[in-house]
């Protein structure tokens, strides 16, 4: 009975296994990235970047159809251009980075939509916004897994300066010149993971698998390592439960995955041991000497 509900769908159908592998790989890569975004108070940057890659992917689509390479390249280029452009404007002018990012992603979105409608062929935007986690083929899975691998290795390399920049950027600036390159490398990782997530979940939901697990993790752990573990784990749980939900109830798969993460988030806000509402109302006994 339990086997039938929880495991049989994945044994019986290869597309469910592929969707699960894709979702797990995404959770593993995007979760940690999300934690750093959250700690650096850049939670909404992920959202902005996700919108920024849409037109790039759409242009790739118009040029060569549903080609994995064209859409990936388009998304990456658009994402990098927006990230670097916004960063440059922020450094060179009075404008703060969030404001210039907002300007850039809105322009990019408008350009993308204009190009799509000028071409006259109305692309089914739903597929771009919500993705097709059920249709992952070998190249797409390899791409997502590759992005995750690169992200984890790169995070391991830049871990130290990145944590310092989250906690005390002024101190980092005083002892090292690594700040700027680390920042750029990190933004590159954000863009890559969003593009990977775009293939499975579309631009709207890719940012969900990145940020929701990170926000959940904030309620369960105090130190960064533990947060990263909780984020990756809760992302993986969301993927697994979301797919099962879609399989049993007929809910669309991408939104189902993010909805499960949303439910986990609400539970965490209520019952999380670190600053959860219930915990605040009934604090444990003070430790007294």
| Structure-token match 């997502």, residue found | 144
Q: Which is nearer to other proteins, 34 or 55 (CB)?
A: 55
**Residue 243 contacts other proteins per CB under 8 A:** yes
Contact yes or no for 37/190 (Cβ under 8 A): yes
Q: Is 250 left (phi over 0), alpha (psi -120 to 50) or beta?
A: left
**Residue 250 contacts other proteins per CB under 8 A:** yes
Q: Which stretch binds other proteins (CB under 8 A): 55-63, 78-86, 117-125, 223-231?
A: 117-125
Q: Can you give the length of the chain in residues?
A: 289
Q: Which is nearer to other proteins, 99 or 251 (CB)?
A: 251
Q: Which is nearer to other proteins, 75 or 87 (CB)?
A: 75
Residues sharing a CB contact under 8 Å with residue 125, sequence separation 6 or more, in sequence order: 116
Minimum distance of other proteins from residue 104's CB (angstroms): 25
Considering only 127, 160, 177, 222, the residue that binds other proteins (CB under 8 A) is 127
Q: Give the DSSP letter of residue 287.
A: P
Minimum distance of other proteins from residue 120's CB (angstroms): 5
Distance CA 212, CA 142 (A): 24
**Residue 15 contacts other proteins per CB under 8 A:** yes
Question: ∠ at Cα 98 (184, 96), nearest 5°?
Answer: 90
Minimum distance of other proteins from residue 98's CB (angstroms): 31
Considering only 160, 226, 248, 267, the residue that binds other proteins (CB under 8 A) is 248
Considering only 1, 14, 170, 287, the residue that binds other proteins (CB under 8 A) is 14
Q: Which is nearer to other proteins, 56 or 254 (CB)?
A: 254
Nearest to 141 by CA among 210, 74, 200, 193: 200
**Residue 195 contacts other proteins per CB under 8 A:** no
Nearest to 132 by CA among 53, 197, 47, 61: 197
Considering only 61, 219, 247, 265, the residue that binds other proteins (CB under 8 A) is 247
Considering only 12, 63, 168, 222, the residue that binds other proteins (CB under 8 A) is 12
Q: Which is nearer to other proteins, 72 or 100 (CB)?
A: 72
**Residue 104 contacts other proteins per CB under 8 A:** no
DSSP letters for 9-34: HHHH-HHHHHHHHHHHHHHHHHHHHH
Provide the token pair at 59. Answer: 């242009």
Distance CA 206, CA 199 (A): 9
**Residue 66 contacts other proteins per CB under 8 A:** yes
Binding site for other proteins (CB under 8 A): 9, 12-16, 18-19, 66, 117, 120-122, 124-127, 130, 132, 134-137, 243, 246-256
């Amino acid at each position: 009975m339990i086997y039938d509900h929880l495991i049989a769908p994945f044994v019986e159908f290869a597309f469910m296994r592929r969707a699960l592998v894709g979702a797990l790989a995404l959770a593993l890569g995007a979760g940690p990235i999300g934690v750093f975004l959250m700690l650096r108070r850049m939670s909404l940057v992920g959202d902005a970047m996700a919108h920024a890659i849409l037109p790039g992917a759409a242009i790739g689509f118009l040029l060569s159809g549903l080609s994995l390479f064209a859409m990936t390249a388009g998304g990456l280029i658009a994402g990098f251009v927006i990230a670097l452009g916004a960063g440059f404007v922020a450094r060179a002018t009075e404008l703060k980075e969030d404001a210039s990012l907002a300007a850039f992603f809105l322009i990019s979105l408008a350009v993308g939509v204009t190009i799509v409608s000028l071409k006259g062929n109305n692309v089914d935007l739903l597929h771009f916004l919500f993705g097709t986690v059920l249709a992952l083929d070998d190249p797409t899975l390899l791409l997502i897994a590759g992005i995750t691998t690169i992200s984890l290795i790169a995070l391991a390399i830049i871990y130290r300066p990145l944590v310092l920049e989250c906690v005390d950027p002024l101190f980092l600036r005083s002892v090292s010149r690594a700040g700027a390159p680390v920042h750029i490398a990190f933004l590159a990782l954000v863009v890559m993971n969003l593009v990977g997530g775009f293939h499975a979940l579309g631009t709207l939901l890719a940012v969900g698998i990145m940020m929701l697990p990170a926000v959940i993790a904030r309620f369960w752990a105090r130190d960064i390592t533990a947060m990263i573990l909780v984020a990756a784990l809760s992302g993986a749980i969301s993927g697994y439960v979301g797919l099962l939900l879609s399989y049993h109830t007929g809910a669309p798969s991408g939104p189902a995955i993010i909805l499960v993460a949303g439910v986990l988030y609400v539970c965490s806000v209520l019952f999380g041991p670190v600053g959860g509402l219930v915990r605040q109302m009934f604090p444990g006994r003070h430790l007294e000497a």
